[in-house]
Amino acid sequence: MSNSIMRTLSRGLAACLLAITYTSTTAIAEGLDYPPTERGDVVDDYHGTEVADPYRWMEDIGSPEVQAWVEAENALTFGYLDGIAGRQDVFERMMQRVDYERFGAPVEAGGRYFYTRNDGLQNQSVLYVSEGLDGEARILLDPNAFSEDSSVSLNTWMANDDGSLLLYAKSVSGSDWVDWFVRDVATGEDLPDVIRWGKFGVASWGPGSSGFYYLTFPVPEEGAEFTSANVDRKTMWHSLGSEQSADELIYELPEHPDWWISAGMNEGRDLLVIYLSDRGSTGNRIYLMDHADPQHSVQKLIDEDDAEFGFLGNDGDRLWFQTTLDAPNYRVVEIDRNNPARENWKEVIPESRFPLSSVSLTGGYMICEYLQDARSAVKLHDMDGNFLQDLQLPGVGSAGGFYGKSDAAETFYTYTDMTTPGTIYRLDLATLDSELYRRPELSFDPGNYVGEFRFYRSPDGTAVPLFLAHHRDIVLDGSNPTVLYGYGGFNSSQGPYFSTSRTVWMDMGGVWAIACIRGGGEYGEAWHQAAIKTHRQVAFDDFIAAAEFLIDSGYTSRERLAVMGGSNGGLLVGAVLTQRPDLFAAALPQVGVMDMLRFNQFTAGAGWESDFGSPQDPQEFAAIYAYSPLHNLREGVCYPPTLATTADTDDRVVPSHSFKFTAQIQHVQACDNPVLIRVETQAGHGAGKPLAKSIAEFSDLLCFALHNMGVDIPEALTRFE
């Protein structure tokens, strides 16, 4: 996948607004007494358009007023959920299904193999190491021991080149902030080195394991840790054995405090590759820095951000990049560092009709993963770009991995599809033969389920892919509970994958559908660009068309259709429920971007202007304001039953988005359909969330949907027994 993680104003402004005089509103639906929510009189002027923001005070997420509101809303929500018959049974069934041994693909370093394993119900997967691939494994890191409640997780890890040291990051409550530690692999003991206020798990080992580079930001003010804007990025160097206060500033760009900047080392550990993206740009620049240069001078190898450039590797001054320049489906080019003008670039792998989603330089090969109608196809090329052969995958699904060094003798990859759990294969790079390495042993038969692949038409005639899965014995008569899931943004592709929790939904007669709408990367950069900025409505039109297709094709009905999506997908759900409230039986927006006029004021939000545009731009404001979920909720409209989810320490999409949206929809709701919010505690945007919390949230969402579809959950659980 390409493009960035979705990329915060300090709490001072929100705090000062608490002094505003309020009026109180209370609404009632389905016998629910919504907590009184104060409405202020804040009004902003956007290019001559006055926009009220009555819930601005909710942006101060740590204030007593907001905390009291959250507690009251959670009490209402969990009281409602507790009244759903069969809810606990669904949770327990999902926990039973996920109770199987799971592994991550192994990573080799210095003859040692590092991999994650979960024995089934562990809240956090455990990191193991073995001497050789078949050696006896031992626990190297157990994140379940980081905290009593499993709220501290292992964010990322990387072994040094000889496998003697492990650099790893801890995240507290799912935050993007991380602390870095170094563990001696042989002894299992941590070195004294501790680095605070790292971000996004961005770091890389330097040469000889003498230290590492890492990304950091200015330490936020107390109380603004989860909301302050991510500006003034810095790449630092930490020498092992020293204090963090002695760390050396390697690169910053104070003249552009809002640019996205990150850096990582090449395989040879002599070259630092720096990525720079202008605020709002979908492209990036590439600067180079020699590690041995005491002046830290940079070579501006690519100083235009008119395309996306991803560094793949180098052999001396020969550098390989994957790029969208003159190739919306991506190609691979070679750049001579000593002669880097564009007219001297060499095309190594030309653009194909299918997007080139990833390239790994492993074992002397370019291992290229393409997306053919959102499903993986893997082709092997030599280092000059000559095609060698296709890799025969186990089916038509999603493959990923293929990591390794340039002299690796093997690599590992994972395969999954809608009905096949993630299975690990070992690829012998001498023979190019694949062999099964690890396959999950499930307590149920995945053969009970079938996957489908369909196309449907969006209003402008575009064919959009749709993945579906359901029980093989289901009757498609239009009465089946159906979840339509989507994302549609940031060039992120939605492919087929297996979920044990989803099988419980399918056991109750449910259909699961994934729409590969525009804004994603399923058909390359053109597919992405078709639904960004002023064209954002295209993604919503695609999603609405998917819902209509499912109804018209007899999979479900309006009374049995729920929509779900997270983060940018939460925005998607918020937008379509305001535009077509008549179309859905339930709406399930998760950690959504709901206030599209304020998203760029918090944490990494300014970086999202690459997809959303900026409300500070008059033309882009008009497009954003037309669909912003918070601002398109109208009085007198009956909105579908809605359960929004967020978390108190989400510093990717700050929870005030969901707070304000929920308060407003409760304020305007014109019928008895419930509109609720479920706020998870000691959790973030999703990564690192303990297993039990993840399953509980997912089962609550599905039970809420089933209840509002009129499905008898206890009876549905026995449907195929």
> Where is the domain boundary, 223, 253, 269?
269
Residue 534: CB atoms within 10 Å = 15
Tell me what pLDDT residue 83 has: 97
> Where is the domain boundary, 249, 269, 289?
269
Q: Which of 9, 12, 8 is nearest to 63 (CA)?
A: 12
Q: Give yes or no: residues 460 and 593 share one domain.
A: yes
Determine, yes or no, domain membership for 625: yes
Q: Give yes or no: residues 513 and 598 share one domain.
A: yes
Type of residue found at 708: N
Q: How far is CA 515 from the centre of its chain?
A: 16
Determine, yes or no, domain membership for 43: yes
Q: Which of 581, 576, 583 is nearest to 537 (CA)?
A: 576
Report the distance separating Cα 482 and Cα 487, nearest Å: 17
12-17, long-range: CB < 8 A, 24+ apart: 13/56, 13/59, 14/56, 14/57, 14/58, 14/59, 14/60, 14/63, 14/656, 15/60, 15/63, 17/42, 17/56, 17/57, 17/60
Q: Which of 585, 590, 657 is nearest to 628 (CA)?
A: 657
Residue with tokens 């014995």: 473
The verdict on whether 567 is a catalytic residue reads yes
CATH number at residue 505: 3.40.50.1820
Q: Give yes or no: residues 631 and 667 share one domain.
A: yes
Tell me what pLDDT residue 683 has: 83
Tell me what pLDDT residue 383 has: 97
The verdict on whether 291 is a catalytic residue reads no
Report the distance separating Cα 498 and Cα 99, nearest Å: 15
Annotated catalytic residue within 434, 685, 694, 699: 685
Coil vs helix vs strand at 87: helix
Q: How many CA atoms lie within 13 A of 75 on its CB side?
A: 9
Determine, yes or no, domain membership for 342: no
pTM of the model: 0.94
Q: Which of 636, 655, 635 is nearest to 645 (CA)?
A: 655
CATH number at residue 154: 2.130.10.120
pLDDT tens digits, one per residue of 52-72:
999 999 999 999 999 999 999
Determine, yes or no, domain membership for 397: no
Q: Which residues contact 272 (CB under 8 A, 6 or more apart)?
A: 213, 235, 250, 251, 263, 264, 265, 266, 288, 289, 290, 291
Q: Are strands 675-680 and 642-647 parallel, antiparallel or unpaired?
A: parallel
Give 509's DSSP letter: T
Largest CA distance in the chain: 74
Annotated catalytic residue within 153, 357, 499, 567: 567
Q: Give yes or no: residues 240 and 225 share one domain.
A: yes
Residue 717: CB atoms within 10 Å = 16
Give 123's DSSP letter: S
Q: Give yes or no: residues 467 and 517 share one domain.
A: yes
Which ranges of the chain have pLDDT less than 50? 1-28
Determine, yes or no, domain membership for 653: yes
Structure token digits, residue 436: 């099964």
Domain of residue 163: give its range.
102-269
Q: How many residues in the chain? A: 721
Determine, yes or no, domain membership for 388: no
Q: Are strands 387-391 and 398-401 parallel, antiparallel or unpaired?
A: unpaired
Give me the torsion for CA of 34, 59, 598, 637, rounded to 10°.
Answer: 10
Number of domains comprising the chain: 2
Determine, yes or no, domain membership for 314: no
Q: Which residues contact 694 (CB under 8 A, 6 or more apart)?
A: none
Q: Give yes or no: residues 602 and 662 share one domain.
A: yes
Report the distance separating Cα 310 and Cα 329, nearest Å: 13
Q: Which of 24, 8, 7, 5 is nearest to 61 (CA)?
A: 8
Report the distance separating Cα 410 and Cα 404, nearest Å: 8
